[in-house]
Amino acid sequence: MKTNNNIQNEIDTIFDSVNHIKAVQASPFFKDKTLQRMFSEKLEEQQRVFTWFSPKLQLATLASVVVLNVFAITKLQESTYNENVSQFAESYGLSTSTETSLLN
């Protein structure tokens, strides 16, 4: 019976401690300040990600891509399709020879 009495005493002390809890006084703009701090930290982290990709680097990248494309277009226009196919066939041994053989 002592254990039941001890349990009842503990329950009573817990309920008594709940009665002593008071309302917390917070400033009226506490929520706004907290939300502002939370979102401002996230914005700063996003700005740090692409700081290395500065406008100078963007311009250099754009210029190199344009030069590469111009070079590729000029090389493409110099060679014809038939030349490319015949070079491919010769390099892999797929071309048919026009020479006549004694065995054919």
User: How many whole angstroms separate alpha carbon 40 and alpha carbon 37?
Assistant: 5
Per-residue model confidence as pLDDT tens for the chain (104 residues): 556 678 888 888 888 888 888 888 888 889 898 888 888 766 555 556 567 778 899 999 999 999 999 998 888 777 677 787 888 888 888 876 666 555 55
Whether this prediction's pTM lies above 0.75 is answered by no
Do 77 and 84 form a contact (C-beta atoms < 8 A)? no
| Alpha carbon separation from 37 to 43, 65, 100 (Å, rounded) | 10, 41, 86
